[in-house]
Amino acid sequence: MTATAESPTAGEVATMRVELQVLRMNPEGTHERKAGESYWDFFVVEAHPTDRVLDALHKIKWEHDGSLAFRRSCAHGVCGSDAMRINARNRLACKTLLKDLNPARPIKIEPIKGLPVEKDLIVDMEPFFASYREIMPFLMTSGAAPARERLQSPEERARYDDTTKCIMCAACTTACPVFWTDGQYFGPQAIVGAHRFIFDSRDEGQWDRLEVLNDKAGVWKCRTAFNCTEACPRGIEVTKAISEVKKALTTGEI
Amino acid sequence: MTHHEYDVVIVGAGGAGMRAALESSQRSRTAVLTKLYPTRSHTGAAQGGMAAALANVEDDSAEWHVFDTVKGGDYLVDQDAAEILCHEAIDAVLDLEKMGLPFNRTPDGKVDQRRFGGHTRNHGEAAVRRSCYSADRTGHMILQTLYQQCIKQEVEFFNEYYVLDLILDSDPQAAAPGEDVAVAGVVALELSTGEIHTFRAKSVIFATGGAGKVFKTTSNAHTLTGDGMGIALGAGLPLEDMEFFQFHPTGLAGLGILLSEAARGEGGILRNSTGERFMERYAPTIKDLAPRDMVARAMANEVREGRGCGPHKDYVLLDLTHLEPAHIDEKLPDITEFARTYLGVEPYTEPVPVYPTAHYAMGGIPTNVRGEVLRNNTDVVKGLYAAGECACVSVHGANRLGTNSLLDINVFGRRAGIAAAEYAASVSEAPAFPDDADTRVRTMVETLLSTVGGTGTERVADVRRALQETMDRNVQVFRDAGTLEEAKGVVAQLKERYKDVAIHDRGKRFNTDLLEAVELQFLLEIAEVVVEGALERRESRGGHYREDFPTRDDENFLHHTMAYASADGVRLDTKPVVITKYPPMERKY
Ligand SMILES: Cc1cc2nc3c(=O)[nH]c(=O)nc-3n(C[C@H](O)[C@H](O)[C@H](O)COP(=O)(O)OP(=O)(O)OC[C@H]3O[C@@H](n4cnc5c(N)ncnc54)[C@H](O)[C@@H]3O)c2cc1C
Ligand code: SF4
Ligand code: FES
C-alpha cells in the first residue's frame, strides 16, 4: 500500500499545451548567440492548468533545454527566489498558476527589471541587498537587556505586522519606475525593511533609520505609483508603509 | 582556483548556520558558505513554532518537555542531549526575542504559546501550550532575525557557493580507534563563475539542512538534496539513523506543501469520508494532536480501508470550518492562503484535502552534544562540527516532535558555533592543505561537463523522478521487506543509469544544470542508506513502520544505526542509545 495521493484535480483535468516565450541571455554565448546578447526563445510544454509557471519552467529545463537558468527553492512562495516578469507583471513563478494566465497567447517571461542580468532569468541581487543593509535592519536598543523577554502588547505587535512578511523577493523594487531610471534610489523594499523596525515599540533606532531614508536616495524619491503594492506576492501594503514613513519624517511623530 | 584561509568555515546559512555564525564570528575569523542567499534557506518555510517551557500561559516545565521529546522519539532519543535541548530552550527563545524576533504576544505582552502535537502537561495528562510562535511564519521570522543580526555583526557570507567536498587530514575509516583525524577545509564551486574555491580552516561546521528531495511528495524545497550528508558519507564518515524519516500528516494532497500542525493546535480536525473524527479511535486522549508518525499512519490506514475522500478516495480532510475566520486570519494566514492558491479550496467554508508528505530527516551526521562530528561510535573528527537538520545529536530519535527542530537549530547551532571557535583558538594552524585538494571536485565537474553534446543518454530529471517515485511507493509511511528490496534494486539500477547522465549546459557561469546533476548524486547515495537501514531494522519504531514487524523490539533494536559507505556498498553498525531517566515504556496517547 502506498501512501501517495494524486492531486485532487490531477487525473480528471486534461493537460494543456502551453507556449512560453522567454527572454534569454547567455553571458558566455552559444554557437548561435553572441555573449551577452538577449533574445526571445520559444518553448511548448504539456502541463496541467493547475501547474505553476515554475513547473512549466522546470519542464523546459528538465525535458527541453537544461541550460535555461533561473533561481528557485521553496516552490510555494515563501523563499523569494523566483520573482520574474510574467506577462509584463512582476510575480513569483511558483505562486502563479497557468490557469490564471491568458491561454490565448504565449506566456511572456522576462527577468525582473533594473538589476543587471547575469544569465537568462537570473539577475545580480547584490545592489538590492546592499540597499537593505543601508537602512540598518536590526533591532537597536540601549541599556541592559532585561532578564526575560521585552514586553510588547498585541496592539504594539500588530503595528508593524504587515512589513514583517517581506521575503526579499525584489518584486516591488524592480516594479518601481523610479528605481528603473534612478540607480541611486533605495527602492520600496528597503523602506519596507525600515518600516518593520521604525514601528516596532522595542526599537530605539528609529531616528537613525529615518535619517537614512530622508537622504536624497531615500523615501522622497517615491512618486506613489503603487506598482510595488500590486507586485508584492506577500500582499504587503508597500505604498502605505512608505507613506507612514514619509509622515513620520514630516510630523516627527511615530 | 582561488584559495582562502579562515579560522572557521560554516557551510549553510539556514537557522543552524547563522545561529552558529553569530557565535563564531564574535570569536574568530569566520566565513559562511551557502548555496542559497541566506534568506532563501528552508528554515524560512517553517510555520508552527519553536518549543520552550516558558510557562507564559499555563504551568509547564523543561522536564516535562524532556519526557515528551523522549517519548515522542519512541525512546531512540539520546536523553542527555534531550535534557540540554529542553533546558536551553528557554534562553534560546529569549535570545531570539532580544534580537528582535516579533513573537505573537499574550494580552500582558509576553511571548504567546500554543499547543502542538505530542507536547503535554505532566507526562501525558493533556496537551500543553509550549510552542512560541509568530503567526504561521515562525521560521521566516527566525531566518530574518538571524540574518539581520548577521548584518549587524558584519558576518562574511559567500553567497551561491556550493560546497562539494570536505578535506580531512587522513582517511577516517583507515585511522585506528583513538587516532587523530582532523579537518583541513572544504572545496566549493562558485555558481556565478563556475570557479572552484578552496577554503582552508581550523574548524568547519556543516549546517546544510535536510534531504526531503529523495521523496516525490515532500514539504521540502527543491534545494534540500542532502548535500552535507552526502559529502560526509563520501569523506568516509558515518550517517546515523537515516531510516527514520518523518512524514508530516498534513501536506496539501498531491502537492506536499505543508499545512502546519498549528492548524490542529488551533482546533482543526481530521475527518474521513464518513465525516468521522477518526483520530479518536487511534489516540483517545490527545486525538488530532498525537505525534506525527501516529497521525500519518492513521491517515494512510483510513485511506487503505476505503474511507479516503475525493474521486480516488486517496486523501482525508482537514476541517477548519468551525473556526472563526478572524481567528484563522490571525493565527493561520499563510497556510490557508496556500490552500486557496494551490488547491482552490476556501478553508473558511470547505475542508482541505491533505495527505502525509515527506518532511524531516531525523537522522544525519552523528555528533555529540558539543556538535563535534563522530567518525565512529566514540572518536570525533577534530575541528569538524554539524548542526541542524543535517546532523543527528540525537534529540529526535525515531520521530521528531513538532517545534523541536527550530529549537534544535538554535540550541545546537549556537553550541557548534561556540565550540568551533574555541577549538580554532586552541590550535595554531589548520592541517596542511594538500595542493591537489580540489581534484575530486574538478574531476566530477569535468566529467559531467564532458557529457555535453557527448555520449550520455540519461537525463538527470528522469533518474531523479524514478528515484523519488520508488521512494514514495516503497519507503514511505508503510514499509516491509518486499517494498524495501524493490527500492534497493531500483536505487542500484539508478546508480548505474547515473553513470550515463548527460547535462546540456556547456557554460561555466550559473550552470544550474551541472549542479542538479551533482545534487542527484547525493540523493542517490542517501536513498541507498535510508533503504539499507530500513531493511536492517526489523521492528517498528517512530517514523519507521514495518508491516512485517509491526511492534517495537527493544531487545534487538534499541540502538542507533551507523551507516558507512564502503567499496561493497553500505556497511551498517550500531551505536548505544543514551538513557538517563526514562526507561522505554509503551507509547500510548
Ligand atoms: C514547511 C516546513 C515547516 C516546518 N515547520 C517547523 C516548525 O514549525 N517548527 C519546527 O521546529 N520545525 C519546523 N520545520 C523543520 C525545520 O524548519 C527545519 O528542520 C530547519 O529549519 C532546518 O534548518 P537548517 O538550518 O538545518 O537547514 P536549512 O534552513 O534548510 O538551511 C540549509 C542551508 O544549507 C545551505 N546548503 C545546503 N547545501 C549546501 C552546499 N552544498 N553548499 C553550501 N551550502 C549549502 C543552504 O544554502 C541553506 O542555507 C519545518 C520544515 C518545513 C519544510
Ligand atoms: S515587500 Fe513584497 S515585493 Fe517587496 S521584496 Fe518584500 S515580499 Fe517582495
Ligand atoms: S521558489 Fe521560493 S518563492 Fe518561489
Residue A74 maps to which CATH number?
3.10.20.30
Paired sense of beta strands A38-47 and A16-25, if any: antiparallel
- The contacts of residue B214 (CB under 8 Å, 6+ apart) are B226, B358, B467, B468, B471, B523, B526, B527, B530
Could you tell me the pLDDT band of residue B385, with boundaries at 50, 70 and 90?
very high
Rounded to 5, what percent of chain B is helix, strand, coil?
40, 25, 40
Write the CA distances from B317 to B240, B302, B358, B371, integer angstroms: 35, 11, 18, 40
List phi, psi (to 5°) of B568: -105, 40
- Nearest CA-CA partner of B190 in B570, B440, B511: B511
Return the pLDDT at A10. Answer: 47
> Are A135 and A232 in a shared domain?
yes
The number of C-beta contacts closer than 8 angstroms across A and B is 209
Q: If we measure between CA atoms, which residue out of B416, B367, B419, B424 comes closest to residue B396? A: B367
The Cα–Cα gap between B478 and B297 comes to: 8
pLDDT value of residue B47? 94
CA A111 and chain centroid, separation: 12
Host domain of residue A62? 16-123
Q: Measuring CA to CA, which residue among A108, A107, A102, A90 is closest to residue A189?
A: A90
Q: Of the candidates A10, A12, A76, which has its C-beta nearest B257's C-beta? A: A76
Pocket of ligand 2 from Cβ distances under 6 Å: A 166-172, 189, 192, 231-232, 234, 236, 238
Contacts of residue B513 in chain A, CB cutoff 8 Å? 61, 66-67
The pLDDT assigned to A5 comes to: 52
Same domain for A83 and A150, yes or no, is no
For residue range B132-190, what is the model confidence (pLDDT) as tens digits? 999 999 999 999 999 999 999 999 999 999 999 999 999 999 999 999 999 999 999 99
Q: Which ligand is nearest to the CA of A167?
A: 2
> Which ligand neighbours the alpha carbon of B160 most closely?
1
Confidence of residue B271 (pLDDT cuts 50, 70, 90): very high
Mean pLDDT of B243-261: 96
**Has residue A1 been placed in a domain?**
no
pTM over 0.90: yes
The answer as to whether A9 is a domain residue is no
Show which of A123, A142, A157 is a domain's final residue.
A123
Q: Is the CB of B137 under 6 A from ligand 1?
A: no
Ligand 2 atom 6: residue of nearest CA: A166
Establish if A203 belongs to a structural domain: yes
When pLDDT is averaged across residues B205-219 and rounded to a whole number, the result is 98
For A29-43, the pLDDT digits (tens) are 988 999 999 999 999
Residue B391 Cα, gap to closest chain A Cα (Å):
21
A154 in the same domain as A94:
no
In this structure, the answer to whether residues A134 and A241 fall within a common structural domain is yes
Q: What would the DSSP string read from start to end of A158-215?
A: HHTTGGGG-----TTGGG-HHHHH-TT---HHHHHHHHHHHT-TT---HHHHHHHHTS
Q: Is residue A5 part of a domain?
A: no
Alpha helices in B359-459 (DSSP H): 404-426, 439-449
Predicted-assembly ipTM surpassing the 0.90 threshold = yes
Averaged pLDDT, B252-279? 96
Query: Could you read off the pLDDT tens digit of each residue along chain A, which spans 254 residues?
Result: 344 555 554 445 689 999 999 999 999 998 899 999 999 999 999 999 999 999 999 999 999 999 999 999 999 999 999 999 999 999 999 999 999 999 889 999 999 999 999 999 999 999 999 999 999 999 999 999 999 999 999 999 999 999 999 999 999 999 999 999 998 899 999 999 999 999 999 999 999 999 999 987 889 999 999 999 999 999 999 999 999 999 999 999 98
3-state secondary structure of B501: strand
Q: Which residue minimizes the CA distance to atom 49 of ligand 1?
A: B13
Nearest chain B Cα distance for residue A204, angstroms: 12
Can you read off the three cell numbers belonging to residue A127? 545592489
Of A76, A98, A123, the one marking the end of a domain is A123
**Does residue A4 lie in a domain region?**
no
Ligand 2: residue of A168, A195, A245 to mutate (most ligand atoms within 8 A of CB) is A168
User: What is the tens place of the pLDDT at every residue in B70-115?
Assistant: 999 999 999 999 999 999 999 999 999 999 999 999 999 999 999 9
Q: If you take atom 2 of ligand 2, which residue's CA is the nearest one?
A: A232
Under 8 Å between Cβ of B381 and B365: no
Burial class (CB in 10 A: 0-12, 13-18, 19+), B559: middle
pLDDT at A3: 44
Ligand 3 pocket, mutate which of A53, A79, A125 (most atoms under 8 A from CB)? A79
Question: B303 in contact with A at a CB cutoff of 8 Å?
Answer: yes
Using the CB atoms, write b or e for B146-176: b if 16+ within 10 Å: bbbbbbbeebebbbbbbbbbbbbbeebbebe
Q: Cβ(A76)–Cβ(A132) under 8 Å?
A: no
Check whether residue A153 and residue A177 sit in a common domain.
Answer: yes
Q: What are phi and psi of B76, to 5 degrees?
A: -95, 5
pLDDT digits (tens, 9 = 90+) for B391-423: 999 999 999 999 999 999 999 999 999 999 999
Which of B70, B79, B58 has its CA nearest to residue B124? B70
pLDDT at B454: 67
pLDDT at B558: 98
Residue A42 lies in a domain: yes
Query: What's A138's domain CATH number?
Result: 1.10.1060.10
Residues A194 and A81 in one domain: no
Residues of B within 8 A of A2 (CB-CB) are 472-474, 476
Q: What is the rounded average pLDDT for all residues in chain B?
A: 97
Same domain, A136 and A96: no
3-state secondary structure of B373: strand
Peptide bond connecting B260 to the previous residue in cis, omega within 30 degrees of 0? no
CB A96 near ligand 3, within 6 Å: no
> A123, A157, A191: which is the final residue of a domain?
A123
Asked whether B250 and B258 are in contact (CB, 8 A), the reply is: yes
The angle formed by the CA atoms of residues B537, B538 and B543, to the nearest 5 degrees, is 60
Nearest chain A residue to B338 by CA distance is: A76
User: The C-alpha cell of B120 is what?
Assistant: 503535554
Which residue's CA is minimally distant from atom 4 of ligand 2?
A: A172
Residue A68 burial (C-beta neighbours within 10 Å; 0-12, 13-18, 19+): buried
Model confidence pLDDT, tens digit, residues B295-339:
999 999 999 999 999 999 999 999 999 999 999 999 999 999 999
Closest by CA to B476, choosing from A15, A3, A143, is A3
Is B292 part of the annotated catalytic residue set?
A: yes
Q: How far apart are the first and last CA of chain A?
A: 60
CB atoms within 10 A of CB A64: 14
Rounded CA gap, B420 and B258, in Å?
34
Residue B57 contacts residue B113 (beta carbons within 8 Å): yes
Whether A7 is covered by a domain: the verdict is: no
Instruction: Classify B317 as helix, strand or coil.
Output: strand
Tell me the H-state helices in chain A.
53-59, 126-134, 154-159, 177-181, 188-198, 206-213, 227-231, 238-251
Looking only at the bridges linking them, the beta strands covering B316-319 and B183-190 are unpaired
Q: Per the structure, how many domains does chain A have?
A: 2
Confidence of residue B452 (pLDDT cuts 50, 70, 90): confident
3-state secondary structure of B583: coil
The cell numbers describing B430, all together, are 589548520
Same domain, A89 and A182: no
For residues A86 and A189, state if they share a domain.
no
To the nearest whole Å, the CA of B531 is away from the closest chain A CA by 16
**Distance from the CA of B417 to the center of ligand 1, in angstroms?**
17
Q: Check B19, B129, B271, B292 and give the catalytic one.
A: B292
Instruction: Indicate whether A115 and A52 sit together in one domain.
Output: yes
Q: Indicate yes or no: CB of B102 within 8 angstroms of CB of A160.
A: yes
Number of other residues whose CB lies within 10 A of the CB of residue A87: 16
The C-alpha atoms of residue A2 and residue A49 are separated, in whole angstroms, by 26
Say what the pLDDT of residue B13 is: 98
Q: Are both A109 and A136 inside the same structural domain?
A: no
Q: Are residues A66 and A182 part of one domain?
A: no
What pLDDT is recorded for position A70? 98
Q: Is residue A107 part of a domain?
A: yes
User: What is the amino acid identity at position B369?
Assistant: V
